[in-house]
Structure 1
Amino acid sequence: MPEHAFSPPERKAVYRAIAERRDMRRFTPDSAVTDDVLARLLQAAHAAPSVGLMQPWRFIRITENALRHKIHALVDEERVRTADALGPRAAEFLALKVEGILDCAELFVIALADDRERHVFGRRTMPHMDLASVSCAIQNMWLAARAEGLGMGWVSIFEPVPLARLLGMPDGAEPIAILCLGPVPDFPERPMLEIEHWTTARPLPEFVSENSWLTETSF
């Protein structure tokens, strides 16, 4: 075993959080997240790797109920537009519950910072590494939430410009996620989109190759 490996119970806990993480849409009404837990989750997000240590994330906690409803309205508008774009699957999509904005205990908007263009290290040839870094922060928060027994859902159905304007973001900043967080009734054994027969997750071997794009591997 490598010298710096976690103990077997610690490793098992890490892999359990990964396996049991779900994109949650249903939350326990009138619930709360304590300040100490919330601080741990935000610290976990802030501990994420970022290219060039740019830390391009910004976390906006939504505590005003009127603002929460305005955010929900923006998402609901895009939900209808997305359904129109889906054509034959429009009705099927509209029947899905795709967010828990009005029900979750805590609501966050995660954004790319407005000063990230000054970071050249790691971004000269791959400028999207700022988005990759923020995604790592979101995943850290997601796994930490699961370990705390809390659900989290990533809502991406919104137009960035109106949301940025609603939250007073400066030029160059860009919202990339609305995160619903809080206690949930349960964690389903499978992803919600599988349970709702929207799609099915594909197995790992379809995504792993060796030495070239299409070469099969033993995984």
Structure 2
Amino acid sequence: MTEPFNDADRAAVYRAIYERRDMRHFVPKPLDPALLQRLLDAAHHAPSVGFMQPWRIARITDTTLRTALHRIVEDERQKTAEALGQRGDEFMRLKVEGMLECGELLVVALMDRREAHIFGRRTLPEMDLASVACAIQNMWLAARAEGIGMGWVSLFDCTQVRTLLRMPPGAQPVAILCVGHVEQFYPEPMLETQRWASRMPLAQCVFENHWPETDGAA
């Protein structure tokens, strides 16, 4: 069938898109197992190049492992602050994760032996990563629709995470996801509220036919 969703269903899809937030503040309360299963199933129904389904998701239930992952992230947070130079102090004042408070902690990774998948990747091998990002976005939108917060943590040393979780050769961690109950969703992206950055106008990101000529400032 090619009919569009009805008005209410269509509005709900757009609402989830516009109200999705990268959450860092969580209520320490467990998720219902059936709800978590729905979120994981949403991720698993993401599109993937060549239908390779390159996502692998580790649910972290061991508190010792959770603490160790948090230490890895905190170490990278310090190094990121140093690399930011003058903005380092400003960065350190930001809350960048809720790993110790969220109800569920997930590590999303690229599969091992993915070099065997050629379809759609011969000239763009990074399309496996794009596929994993689609799975994460599916979960994010489903979580928002369920009233559940989710935050994507990317501050970590990949080798340390790979070793800690005993990933096979070739597997690559992509994201640490904080998932859980929240008191409220941010009215706008937190980094925008704290004036770290602002959303670009859509017109600056959409071109017609050819890349626009620069004004020479680049």
TM-score range, shorter chain: over 0.9
Opposite residue 19 of structure 2, the aligned amino acid is E
Q: Once the two structures are superposed, what CA deviation does each residue of 1:116-145 show, in whole Å capped at 9, x if it has no partner? A: 110000000100000000000000000000
Q: Return 5+ residue gaps in structure 2 as ranges.
A: 214-218
Alignment match, 1:21: 20
Q: 1:155 aligns with which of 148, 153, 156?
A: 153
Alignment match, 1:79: 77
CA RMSD in angstroms, aligned pairs only: 1.0
Q: 1:49 aligns with which of 40, 47, 52?
A: 47
Q: Once the two structures are superposed, what CA deviation does each residue of 1:34-58 show, in whole Å capped at 9, x if it has no partner? A: 0110110000000000010100000
Alignment match, 2:3: 4
In the alignment of these two chains, the number of paired residues is: 213
Alignment match, 2:204: 206
Q: 1:91 aligns with which of 89, 92, 96?
A: 89
1:54-69 equivalent positions in 2, closer than 5 A: 54-69=52-67
Query: 1 CA distance for matches of 2:192 and 2:2?
Result: 39
Q: Once the two structures are superposed, what CA deviation does each residue of 1:162-185 show, in whole Å capped at 9, x if it has no partner? A: 100000000000001000000011
Query: Alpha-carbon deviation of 1:197?
Result: 1.4
Using the size of structure 2 for normalisation, the TM-score is 0.96
Opposite residue 9 of structure 2, the aligned amino acid is E
- Percent identity between matched residues is 58
Secondary structure of the residue that 1:124 maps to in structure 2? coil
Secondary structure of the residue that 1:109 maps to in structure 2? strand
Using the size of structure 1 for normalisation, the TM-score is 0.96
Alignment match, 2:168: 170
Q: 1:38 aligns with which of 36, 39, 43?
A: 36
Query: 2 CA distance for matches of 1:129 and 1:167?
Result: 24
Displaced runs of 4+ in structure 1, greater than 3 A? Answer: none
Query: 1 CA distance for matches of 2:188 and 2:84?
Result: 24
Secondary structure of the residue that 1:108 maps to in structure 2? strand
Query: 2 CA distance for matches of 1:36 and 1:69?
Result: 25
Opposite residue 5 of structure 1, the aligned amino acid is P
